[in-house]
Structure 1
């Protein structure tokens, strides 16, 4: 067999083997990467919605922000406030629903054991980005469903969302530089939020008795 024909057959065989063996794996990998980005984008969209809707309602409720509005404007502002609060409720629900999927897209990013003992949360002795995202989503949802005053709920959910955003969506270089301090801050806020919810429930129980 001529050498040139052998070369052509080898090239054809190599191409076919690559398409049959490597091609499906690359396609599957690309689908997983795309799905991970879609989950992260969806989580970020709802996280930002919590932040913006919370700030909108807080500004609307500031003393003097709508001083002595006309009856029509009071009705309009009341309707807008109700809409924003509905959006915020929907966003916290989506966050807690998809947080486990988001956690799978951050499989191995966690604190070293020595730092984990110092900065870990009361719920997770060795926190990772994924577990922290789940704790954040649960805390935000619990706060929103709690008996806390609206102003306090808005304060907690916007503070939590701003801090977790710096952890999950910061540039890798910025995340590495501030990861420990941001993780410590978000764990502190999560603990504060859970404690506030527990206190509000106990007070509500005493009032009911």
Structure 2
């Protein structure tokens, strides 16, 4: 009987100590890690959403040009509505590029490869620079699309699409950056 009592007492003390150690040391670390990983994944999702927003807004800006002032098919009211929509799309581009630049450390640093981290950070900086530049709107839209499409495919495309286009996407991205910077592109 004393051996059974002793075994039960040791088992109970072991269970209490284990529960306390896990509750005091392991659980808080796991909860903090869970929170950090959740923030990283939320930032990655927002990164992807902003890339799609840029592609969408640029496509809309290309598709809906302002009509000529003397075009009889457009009333002044419709011209103003289209101008307001185009301004809203430019505002979306502005907000998206601000977010990308401000949060680059959060989403870019979450990938394990230095090359892909640099790819994301360079994209954010150059996309913001294009939006802030004094280039013509059509040129800005073309440059933003040329920057964004390869980045979106490399970060969020299907794995076989990423692998198939990795060299072409990086080359197109580098050529666009050279064009933005005014440097001659190397063949």
How is 1:5-84 mapped onto 2 (pairs within 5 angstroms)? Answer: 5-61=9-65, 68-84=73-89
Bigger Rg over Cα: 2
Superposed CA offset, 1:131-186 (max 9, x none): 11111111111112222221111011022111111122235565455444433332
1:101 maps to 106
1:132 maps to 119
2:130–2:143 contact (8 Å) kept in structure 1: yes
1:167 maps to 154
1:95–1:137 contact (8 Å) kept in structure 2: yes
Q: Distance in 1 between matches of 2:118 and 2:44?
A: 14
Q: What number of residue pairs does the alignment pair up?
A: 178
TM-score (norm 1): 0.74
TM-score (norm 2): 0.82
Supply the RMSD in Å over aligned alpha carbons. 2.6
Deviating more after overlay: 151-160 vs 2-11: 2-11
Superposed CA offset, 1:75-98 (max 9, x none): 211111111112212221221121
1:183 equivalent in alignment to 2:187: no
Moved over 6 A (4+): none
